[in-house]
Structure 1
Amino acid sequence: MKKKILSFLLFSFVFSLNVSAQETFKVMFYNLLNYPLETAVANREDDLELILSDYQPDLFLVCELNNITGANTVLNITRSSISANFEMATYVSNTSDDLSGNQNDLQNLLYYDSTKFILDEEIIVPTELRDFNVYKLKLNTVDQATNPIEFYVVVCHLKASSGTVNAQRRFEMVQELDAYLNTLPATTNVMLTGDLNIYTATESAFQELLDSTNNITFADPANRIGSWNNNVSFVDVFTQSTRTQNGFGGSTGGFDDRFDFILTSENMISTSAISYVADSYQVYGNNGLSSCYNSRINSTNCGNSSSEFSFEIRDALHNFSDHLPVTLSLETDATVLNANNFDNVISFSLEKTIIKNELVINVNDFQLKNTDLVIYNNIGQKIKTLRTNTDNKQRFNISGLASGLYYIEPLNLNVKPLKFIISN
């Protein structure tokens, strides 16, 4: 009995040093404006780095991403400006047909802090125009094996422009999403992020999202339902346009529309294991000034000496995109692991240290699953990256490597590297 008590106390002590009792997660959605193909403004990457360095999101959702090159550049920016632990979901070109030449060059993507979230599943919901990209995430909690906290993030970009035809196409796109959401349990936590291109809350696409008879009913965390277009009363939730002049790419016309949203399923407003932090919804860069109506976001009309968002931030936003990002925070009472503190107890082992064509790795720690392992040669040059899965025993074909001494270690974790020799 004494031995059992001692073991329990030791276990409790270790975890008291390495976990946090409550966690808040910052979320940002951003329309990247045809990134990286839009080049009217030079060095837009510098503007994005300033924006992300300032806000520090844990989840970064984007639309209007053009290609894998841009996706990887944004990943590198998140790692340099937020955390080296950032990862991205699988980049997939738009699978939907836009009925006008298959110009499927506007993609959505998720970037996330891999120490806080585990990406469990990636789903594509096609429509006649653009995909809904759906990501199933799990919090990196102590008891995730027995009591997982899961939620879905939807990233989308609905049909643009006014008029009944375009409004109908937005509605039909949302119907496709609802058909998928109807396959999930009604208690599922869902967050919808995107450029909805909706002008008023009475539009059928928005009403469909709020419909209480749906399996998943969405709510507006900002609680700013109304007719947004050209209505200065809603200037605090306007997201477009940041610009009034031509020559920057994207839309002009000044600040007069709420097109970008983060909506949550109703249960995430207050009753979920992961829920919306009250009053945290904010349009990043929007100082809420009525004088900003129809102005460019970096003008003196949109900020003063007491404003939250400085000229430097608003100027970067003006230069990077014709949209402003939307942000909010989520919270949980669950105990979330702190990967930085756990680095010293993470371990993995090799089945054999002298091998020929196959490297077998024993992985028992969940932090080493679905992650990258990097192989270096004996002079420290990066030779190969291996992606682990969820198996406890990982097998990799390394027949392409020359004979010699190598080291392997997890990417972005402070874990002692292992040494092995290839002897052919």
Structure 2
Amino acid sequence: MKKKLLITLLVFACALNEAASQETFKIMFYNLLNFPDQSSSKIQDLEVILEDYNPDLFMVCELNNQTGANAILSSLQTINPNYSSATFVTNSSDDAIGDSNDLQNFIYFDSSKFILESQTQIQTIFRDFNHYTFKLNTTDQISNPIIIHFIVCHLKSSQDDPNPDLRFLMVEDLTNYLDGFPSSDYFILGGDLNVYTNSEPAFLELTDVTNNITFIDPANRVGSWHNNITYIDVFTQSTRTQTGLGGATGGFDDRFDFILTSENMLTNPDIFYVNNSYQVYGNNGNINCYNQEINSSNCDGVDFNSTIRNVLYNMSDHLPVILELQTNETLSTNNFNLKQAFSIIGSNIVKNELSIQIDATFFESDFVYIYNTLGQKIITYKVQDINLLRVNVSNLSNGLYYVVASNSNLKPLKFIKSN
């Protein structure tokens, strides 16, 4: 009996150890729609999205310039100072068939979790693929390095000939490049593929099982996507039906944006896709959303509220794609929690009341201020000898707000007002 009990305890201890060592990474890809040139207010909309999802690694396309790249990094660093980015480069491919040099790909990452080893531009007939090689920041990264490759891309748009063939030629350049890597390497491809069906040559080339690196759709939602409500849960475009904000205006009817993984990432314990974590951020899977604007009540659902869908509508004609990766290795980061002087209790998306916990041991401010995104101070609270502050926000307009202590050395808090 004692022997059985000992075995049971050992098994339980091993299970706890394995669970404790698992680390999860949140990945996002987003077509930013001519950022930042399309609108000066887009950075505020993007900040709401990033604050809500808080990706560990963020891939983008349709980034116009270094100014836009720096603005996004600054916003990310207000969420987490560990965010970093690759070196910004402009497109090096031939742009004779389009003004592609105005649309760049880029990547941001949490440097406490990912170490950027190298970056490469893969030239095609139209626009670069950007290849970023990372090493996970694990405790045994010297003896057992885990390398993961991220490819960011934006294929040629339009159904009209010869554009499907041009997309294929671009992908063919990528697969030829990937022939130079061990087939056991881990790859993630995030991009606006602009494909309408899985039978398009470009998609067939990416997923060809005879390739050295074969990509798969981790969502397992492969089919003829265009105008097919069977696949509405993976639609990413268009968020709009009206002109004025740029981009496409055809309503919600296409799956253009993808995160694909190499097939070995479904099962390998070093780094693997978390089952059922693939999602289109902002898409509630509501069939009534077909051909509608994403901020319409027809697109309501439990996952993404109207505030989030409104900023997505303003930000781009595309929706972001997200998924999670996991490793059984332990990260080389501090596991202790620093004591916070003040913090939001519960979710930072609130409707009527915001609750703020204050630790008088560390909090040396007499006042707390609430600012809107224009930098206007709209509420002042005296907080001497208070441990819990309850703020009535029911009369505030929907959007992003900052909670600032009069002791400016403290990092501001952020919350989103949503009805």
TM over 0.5: yes
Spell out the pairing of 1:197-212 with structure 2 (5 A cutoff): 197-212=194-209
CA distance in 1, matches of 2:159, 2:78: 39
Q: What are the residue-to-residue correspondences of 1:389-404 with 2, within 5 Å? A: none
Instruction: Indicate conservation of the 8 Å contact 1:60/1:111, yes or no.
Output: yes
Aligned-pair CA distance for 1:244: 0.6
**Aligned to 1:268, which of 241, 262, 265?**
265
Kindly report which structure 2 residues correspond to 1:161-200, keeping only aligned pairs within 5 A, or say none.
161-200=158-197
Q: CA deviation at 1:302?
A: 0.2
Q: Are residue 312 (structure 1) and residue 307 (structure 2) matched? A: yes
Distance, in Å, in 2 between the alignment partners of 1:264 and 1:340 is 29
2:100, 2:127 within 8 Å by CA — same for their partners in 1? no
Q: Which residue of 2 aligns with 1:3?
A: none
Change (3 A) 1:288 1:101: closer
In the alignment, what sits opposite 1:130?
127
Aligned to 2:33: 33
Q: Which residue is equivalent to 2:22?
A: 22
Specify which of 54, 57, 64 is matched with residue 56 of structure 1: 54
SS of match in other structure, 1:331: strand
Alignment of 1:92-241 (within 5 A): 92-100=89-97, 103-241=100-238
Q: Distance in 2 between matches of 1:236 and 1:342?
A: 37
State the distance in 1 between where 2:108 and 2:131 align: 13
The amino acid of 2:24's aligned partner reads: T
The amino acid of 1:332's aligned partner reads T
Q: Could you tell me which of 63, 66, 85 is aligned with 1:65? A: 63
Letter of the 2:312 counterpart: L
Q: What CA distance in whole angstroms lies between the structure 1 residues aligned with 2:55 and 2:101? A: 28
Structure 2 counterpart SS, 1:336: coil
Q: Deviations over 1:351-395 (max 9, x none)?
A: xxxxxxxxxxxxxxxxxxxxxxxxxxxxxxxxxxxxxxxxxxxxx
Q: Provide, for residues 302-333 of structure 1, a one-character-per-residue CA deviation record: whole Å limited to 9, x for no partner.
A: 004xx210000000000000000000000000
For the structure 1 residues 339 and 192, does the alpha-carbon distance in structure 2 shift closer, same or farther, using more than 3 Å as the test? same
Tell me the CA shift for residue 103 of structure 1.
4.6
CA deviation digits over 1:37-86, x for unaligned, max 9?
112xx5111111110010010000000000000000010111113x1110
Per-residue CA deviation, residues 77-99 of structure 1 (Å, 9 max, x unaligned), is 11113x11100001000001121
Residues 402-417 of structure 1: matches in 2 within 5 Å?
A: none
Matches of 1:100 and 1:197 in 2, distance apart? 16
CA distance in 2, matches of 1:105, 1:153: 22
Q: In structure 1, how many angstroms separate the alpha carbons of the residues matched to 2:105 and 2:269? A: 26
In structure 2, the residue matched to 1:357 is none
Contact preservation (8 Å) 2:238, 2:317: yes
Counterpart secondary structure, 1:72:
helix
Alignment check: 8 A CA contact 2:165 2:201 kept: yes
Question: By how many angstroms is 1:271 displaced?
Answer: 2.0
> Is the partner of 2:162 in helix, strand or coil?
helix
- 1:342 shift after superposition: 11
CA shift in 2, pair 1:79/1:232, >3 Å? same
| 1:339 Cα deviation from its structure 2 partner | 4.3
Inter-partner Cα distance in structure 2 for 1:163 and 1:185: 36
What 5-or-longer segments of structure 2 have no aligned partner? 1-19, 339-419
TM-score, normalisation: structure 2: 0.75
**Residue type of the partner of 1:26?**
K
Partner of 1:86: 83
- Give, as a single letter, the amino acid of the residue that structure 1 aligns with 2:284: N
Asked whether the equivalents of residues 189 and 272 of structure 1 are also in contact (C-alpha less than 8 Å), the reply is no
Q: Are the equivalent residues in 1 in contact too, given 2:64–2:103 (CA < 8 A)?
A: yes
State the partner residue of 1:396: none
CA distance in 1, matches of 2:314, 2:292: 14
AA paired with 2:201?
Answer: S
Q: Which amino acid aligns with 2:266?
A: I
CA distance in 2, matches of 1:231, 1:140: 42
CA distance in structure 2 between the aligned counterparts of 1:337 and 1:316, rounded to whole angstroms: 35
Aligned residue number for residue 421 of structure 1: none
- Per the TM alignment, residue 272 of structure 1 is displaced from its structure 2 partner at its CA by 4.7
Residue identity (%): 57
How many residue pairs get matched?
Answer: 320
SS state of the match for residue 337, structure 1?
A: coil
In structure 2, C-alpha distance between the alignment counterparts of 1:308 and 1:147, rounded to whole Å: 38
Q: Please point out which of 322, 326, 330 is paired with 1:327.
A: 322
Amino acid at match of 1:252: T
Give the CA deviation at 1:269: 1.1
* Bigger mean CA offset, 97-106 vs 188-197: 97-106
2:38 is the alignment partner of 1:43: no
TM normalised by structure 1 equals: 0.74
User: Could you tell me whether the CA contact under 8 Å between 1:132 and 1:154 is conserved in 2?
Assistant: yes
Give the CA RMSD over aligned residues.
1.6
The amino acid that maps onto 1:31 is: N
Contact 2:251–2:292 under 8 Å retained in 1: yes
SS in 2 for 1:50: helix
One-letter amino acid of the structure 2 residue matched with residue 329 of structure 1? E
Contact conserved, 2:100 with 2:126, CA < 8 A, in 1?
no
The answer for the alignment partner of 1:6 in structure 2 is none
